[in-house]
Amino acid sequence: MFIVEETIAGPDAAQIPKQRGESLLETAVRYAEERHWDVFPGTWLEAVDGVQRCSCGDAACALPGAHPTRPDWITQATGSATVARRLWTEQPTASILLPTGHTFDAIDVPETAGFLALARMERMELTLGPVTLTPDRRMRFFVLPGASVKVPDLVRKLGWAPASLDLVALGEGAYVAAPPTRYGSRGAVQWACRPTPANRWLPDAEELISPLAYACGRDR
């Protein structure tokens, strides 16, 4: 089970569990071993003249320390805890990235809409999967694979044009950064809803799309 500290308050009275200082290596191994998620190591942060810079060498990197190291990153992804341990032993400070489209897809929305949707989902007594909160103020709701194909039509059925909402489903060919990966000096990815035995079985996108689309519509 993942260990968390006390929760911290967020918008709309939502709470975010803050993960303790477990090593990236042990965390990556846990994701593979306990959740059966594929993982792969991304870039990492290096101190350059007292400033945290991305290992990619780009001083203007948009995701410092939190993106793939190579174009064929998908070939690095592994669901083996043994392989994950070897990869992070070779580079202990590498970010933890999770490819979408295999064991889960993710629905990406702005933080404000995400918190509003979480409150609404709680009132609706919906069962959630894990949800991350990133330092660039995005929330990613983990759902069953296939969401990236279904979400546009689901949004249209609710009366919205997909392009009008800041909502996108991440599927095959995409990835998410997992806690406790850091985005440069902006902070670390956190769990808004942490992985637990209760949410091992993920919801379908169809179960969550209504409150998410509603929240994104209000957030425009």
Q: What average pLDDT score do residues 151-177 get?
A: 96
Q: Pairing mode, if any, of strands 138-143 and 105-110?
A: antiparallel
> What's the CA gap between 166 and 173, in Å, rounded?
20
Specify the pTM.
Answer: 0.89
Nearest to 97 by CA among 130, 121, 69, 126: 69
Return the number of other C-beta atoms located less than 10 Å from residue 162's C-beta. Answer: 15
Residues in the chain: 220
Query: How high is the mean pLDDT of the chain?
Result: 89
> Quick check: 85 pLDDT over 80?
yes
Nearest to 160 by CA among 104, 202, 219, 100: 219
Express each pLDDT in 10-29 by its tens digit.
333 333 334 455 799 999 99
Helix (H) or strand (E) holding 83: helix 81-90
Q: What average pLDDT score do residues 49-63 get?
A: 91
Q: Is 197 left (phi over 0), alpha (psi -120 to 50) or beta?
A: alpha
For residue 22, the model assigns a pLDDT of 75
The helix/strand/coil state of 126 is: coil
The helix/strand/coil state of 56 is: coil
CB-based contacts of 145, cutoff 8 Å, min separation 6: 100, 101, 102, 103, 104, 105, 171
